[in-house]
Amino acid sequence: MTPIQECILNKRIDKTPIWLMRQAGRYLPEFRKIRRLNPDFVNLCLNENKSSRITLQPLERFDLDAAIIFSDILMVPYGLGQNLIFKKKIGPQLEDINFEKLKRIKKKEFLEKLNPVYKIVKKVKKNSIVKNKDVIGFVGAPWTLLVYMINKTSPKNKILNNFFKNKMLIDQLLSILEKFLKIHIENQVKNGASIIQIFDSWAGLLKEKDLEKYVYLPTSNLVKFVKSLDVPVVCFPRNIKNYKKFCDEVNPDVINIDYNVNITNISEKIHIPIQGGLNPNILLSNKDDLKKEALKYLNTFKNHPYIFNLGHGVMPKTNPKMIDYLVNIVKDFK
């Protein structure tokens, strides 16, 4: 059993496993070299050899306990026929939804478009460097994908004023997303993903009254589905404000927290394994501050099943030496 599986399934607390969101990518010089030669991000995510190579790069440098597939949550809208490009310094840009076309998308067509992702998972799983490590597959939560598909770009903390005007469109989109997210999850698992993480990056945009419909219910349906495949499921409803309520409603195996929470309160109120929390900006500081902050998390969760991770992804300007230093702090902690 892998260190992360030991933590999740056996509630092991004597060793703290570690992996990092966005550990594969933009802060690594070896990634930037590949990226310069491959400006089309979507094509890069669908390139079996290059994407698997990028996925494995951080494991060649650091003693991490998992590989997370180099891909993007927006590959699902792409698979559903909503064209997608990534613009430098702007981020993802999606075209208008052709709803009639989207309703006619068949499973076979969706799988053909995203088949390279599943080949990447399979290729990574077979690599000797991931022996006794997990391969993490992932999806965006229905709400977050809905935000991108209707907003057509990152909301940057605000959704369109008329976002909810077409309730019928939203309800139908949520239904379609649930169907194809399950297909995407199942095919990642079939090809070797041993954990699935569900990213709800924009959960914090919703008012409390809307969480049941847009976050709790659709996410819990995905969680039940992942569990039916006999793999653990991690949820990251970023800035959800009430993580305890989310855990009670959605019932994930692991909850990933952001860096705005009171971790003492979290450790006392949440009884399932916890992941993450460290502010990625601390990796841009110095070793003394990084050690102090990392030990705060390690000591707070010393008697709680805990997977060390961040409260968001690794920042582009992060020095790889700081990642190495952090990993060693976690591995040496007793």
Q: What is the pLDDT of residue 164?
A: 85
- Whether residue 135 is predicted with pLDDT greater than 90 in this model: the reply is yes
Q: What is the pLDDT of residue 165?
A: 85
pLDDT class of 89 with cuts at 50, 70, 90? confident
pLDDT in tens, 54-83: 999 999 999 999 999 999 999 999 999 999
pLDDT in tens, 25-41: 999 999 999 999 999 99
- Whether residue 158 is predicted with pLDDT greater than 80 in this model: the reply is no
Q: What is the pLDDT of residue 30?
A: 98
pLDDT in tens, 302-314: 999 999 999 999 9
Q: What is the pLDDT of residue 32?
A: 96
Phi first, then psi, for residue 86 (nearest 5°) are: -115, 120
Q: What is the CA radius of gyration of the chain?
A: 19
Q: Which residue has the tokens 């006619």?
A: 104
pLDDT class of 157 with cuts at 50, 70, 90? low
pLDDT in tens, 254-293: 999 999 999 999 999 999 999 999 999 999 999 999 999 9
Q: What is the pLDDT of residue 99?
A: 87
pLDDT in tens, 96-132: 988 888 989 999 999 999 999 999 999 999 999 999 9
- Give the Cα separation of 136 and 23 in Å (integer): 12
Q: What is the pLDDT of residue 260?
A: 95
Share of the chain above pLDDT 90, in %: 90
- Structural domains in the chain plus CATH codes: 3-332 (3.20.20.210)
